[in-house]
Amino acid sequence: MVHQLLLVSTIPHSSYVQTISTLKALTGQLAPQEISLYTMLTKPHHVFKPKFEPGKVNQIEQYYMKCVTTWEPSKKATKMDIAEPVFPTDEIVVDKLFTNGYKNVWTLQIADIPIAGKNQVVSARTIFESTLVHHHTSVDGKDSMLQFLDDLGYDVINQYWVNGVQFFYGDVVIEILKLFIRDDEKEGIKLKPLDSSNSFQIRCYRNIPKSTDIEMISQGTKELLKLQEHLKNLFQLEVPDRMCMDSRVQNPV
Amino acid sequence: MTLTLPDAAAALTTRNPPNVDFSQIPISTLENIRNRLNQVHLTLRKLLDSVNIYNKLPNKGRQYMVIQNQLQVLITQFHSLAAQLDSNSELLRDTNVYPLPAFPTSQQEGLLTTLLRKKPLPEVDEWIESALTEKEDKSNDVQTDDLFAQWCMMKIQELKDEFQFYGFHTVQELERMETPEGKEELRKKKEEELQEQELERKISSNGKQAMHPNKVLKFMCSGQL
């Protein structure tokens, strides 16, 4: 379980070089760390509706679950460089992740809705995570990972690929990334950017091991605010909308 | 004229006052001057201390301010002392000082000669002299400095009047812009700018705004846009 404090922003493609240079100077990190993550979004396939009983906890929610692992652009394709803009004619191809005998480390993640409140200076939410090492095999023509999720009671509803870079500023992680979604099926899996404006998404977050550690949380909040102040001329870090981060499953009543 | 005694000697003599007439001694004035001198003395010592500290630790930033403040205090004190001496100049000039018979002349000869001294010490004379000559030189310098500054101001104004400032280009640049090569350059520059804009537009798919982080987060959380 981690408690995550988060601020978000976005920059157009043209500010990329300036932003990277500034962050290099700010963090002293000459080579930012690359991130390429693949996420499967899953949703529980059974509606869980406990009988309403007075005196018991009745607010029971079901949540979407993310299954995250790393990915690489297909070896055939040229190396992907996020500093380059992506045009509709460009082909980004990834290899199939689920091939027989392939070992993947998956992170299963369920996130609570961020804390409510009017004067929130940063978004704060609790994330529950578990790690799973999976050897992919084929079960009745179906991938074993999908079978596993099925057995767990989840359906895959969507997927996305993330590519970007990471900086570390003290305990704060600054990510500059692009999201890709599946384009259509050909040989391999073709991707296209989710946001065709070629803009980058920025996420600055700090993870705190315990949501009860008030001191750490307020310190982390201060760190993020300091960063927000530092970078305000480069990009404006904002508190994301809480409702947009609601990963509860809306069950029909 | 009247007889007056410096207070140190007075202290020695009061033990045995042989019908001395104190009424004519300007005690209050003398006391006043003595106080002022004491103050000056104290301030001078403080100033000396600060200067010494400054010499030892020249990097101690605020020391300079302290010295200046103390100098200011000293100057004020000198001013009031000078005024005090000036207003009593007649009295001080016409007063003769001599010891009373009870003063232990032979034992305190050194003190007595110091107390009765009317002329400054030779070294004091020396620095007064040097200070005066220096002041004359300096005042000349200040005057020439002022004149020079005035001349500079005038010259700058004159030079400024010769120019007229419009826009962001020099006359050479403007003239170059009028020539065919200059026009060509300008055209190229504009083209480059346009190309850049075009590229920018292409990159952002016809100038699309970035997707708001909230929208992206919503997608990341629930798989829907």
- Inter-chain residue contact B200 with A14, CB threshold 8 Å: yes
Whether residue B92 is found in the same domain as residue B153: no
Q: Is residue B109 part of a domain?
A: no
- Reading chain B (225 residues) residue by residue, the pLDDT tens digits are 444 445 544 544 445 555 667 777 778 888 888 898 999 999 999 888 888 888 877 666 667 788 888 889 999 999 988 998 888 888 778 877 777 788 887 888 888 888 888 788 888 889 889 888 887 777 677 788 889 999 999 999 999 888 877 778 888 888 888 888 888 888 999 999 999 888 888 888 777 888 888 889 988 888 887
Taking CA–CA distances from B218, the nearest residue in chain A reads: A244
- Inter-chain residue contact B216 with A245, CB threshold 8 Å: no
Give residue A98's pLDDT band: very low, low, confident or very high (50, 70, 90): confident
CA–CA dist B205, B170 (Å, integer):
39
pLDDT attached to residue B1: 42
Q: Is residue B121 part of a domain?
A: no
Interface residue of A195, A202, A203 to substitute, partner B, most B CBs within 10 Å: A195
pLDDT attached to residue A109: 93
Give residue A170's pLDDT band: very low, low, confident or very high (50, 70, 90): confident
**pLDDT surpasses 90 at A166:** yes
- Tens of pLDDT, residues A19-58: 999 999 999 998 999 898 999 999 998 888 878 888 887 7
Q: Is residue B81 part of a domain?
A: yes
Mean pLDDT lowest among A75-84, A156-165, A204-213, B132-141: A75-84
Confirm whether pTM is higher than 0.80: no
Mean pLDDT over A123-144 rounds to 88
Mean pLDDT over A100-110 rounds to 86
Interface residue of B217, B218, B219 to substitute, partner A, most A CBs within 10 Å: B217
Q: Is residue B51 part of a domain?
A: yes
Torsion sign (Cα): B59, B60, B61, B62: negative
Q: How many CB contacts within 8 angstroms connect chain A with chain B?
A: 83
B21 phi, psi to nearest 5 deg: -95, 105
For residues A190 and B159, the model is more confident at B159
pLDDT attached to residue A55: 80
**Strand ranges, E, within chain B:** 3-4, 96-97
Whether residue B222 is found in the same domain as residue B150: yes
Minimal Cβ distance to B204: which of A160, A197, A247: A197
- Nearest CA-CA distance, residue A55 and chain B, Å: 31
Residues of chain B found within 8 Å of residue A238, distances taken between Cβ atoms? 213
Q: Is residue B119 part of a domain?
A: no
Q: Is residue B11 part of a domain?
A: no
pLDDT attached to residue A80: 72
Residues of chain B found within 8 Å of residue A64, distances taken between Cβ atoms? 221-223
- Inter-chain residue contact A12 with B210, CB threshold 8 Å: yes
Mean pLDDT over A222-236 rounds to 91
CA–CA dist A67, A65 (Å, integer):
7
- Contact of A251 with chain B, judged by CB distance below 8 Å, is answered with no
CATH code of residue B90: 1.20.58.1710
CA–CA dist A38, A94 (Å, integer):
10
pLDDT attached to residue A75: 61
- Inter-chain residue contact B205 with A198, CB threshold 8 Å: yes
Mean pLDDT over A75-99 rounds to 73
**pLDDT surpasses 90 at A68:** yes
pLDDT attached to residue A201: 92
Residues of chain B found within 8 Å of residue A246, distances taken between Cβ atoms? 221-222
Mean pLDDT over A168-196 rounds to 83
Last residue in a domain, options B96, B122, B155: B96
Interface residue of A4, A38, A197 to substitute, partner B, most B CBs within 10 Å: A197
Q: Is residue B179 part of a domain?
A: yes
Minimal Cβ distance to B210: which of A66, A111, A199: A199
Residue A84: closest CA among A175, A16, A161, A180:
A16
Maximum Cα–Cα distance for chain B, whole Å? 117
pLDDT attached to residue B18: 57
- Nearest CA-CA distance, residue A149 and chain B, Å: 17
Q: How many domains does chain B have?
A: 2
Give residue A206's pLDDT band: very low, low, confident or very high (50, 70, 90): very high
3 state SS for chain A: CEEEEEEEEEECHHHHHHHHHHHHHHHCCCCCEEEEEEEEEEEECCCCCCCCCCCCCCCCCCECEEEEEECCECCCCCCCCCCCCCCCCCCEEECCCCCCCCEEEEEEEEECCCCCCCCCCCEEEEEEEEEEEEECCEECCEEHHHHHHHHHCEEEEEEEEEEEEEEEECCEEEEEEEEEEEEEEECEEEEEECCCCCCEEEEEEEEECCCCCHHHHHHHHHHHHHHHHHCCCCCCCECCCHHHHCCECCCCC
Whether residue B87 is found in the same domain as residue B162: no
Which domains are seen in chain A, by residue range?
2-46+61-245 (2.40.320.10)
**Domain span including residue B206:** 145-225
**pLDDT surpasses 70 at A71:** yes
Residues of chain A found within 8 Å of residue B219, distances taken between Cβ atoms? 158, 160, 179, 194
Last residue in a domain, options B39, B73, B96: B96
Interface residue of B201, B216, B218 to substitute, partner A, most A CBs within 10 Å: B216
Minimal Cβ distance to A13: which of B203, B215, B219: B203
- Inter-chain residue contact A244 with B205, CB threshold 8 Å: no
- The mean of the pLDDT values for chain A is 86
Q: Is residue B131 part of a domain?
A: no
CA–CA dist B2, B138 (Å, integer):
43
Whether residue B151 is found in the same domain as residue B223: yes
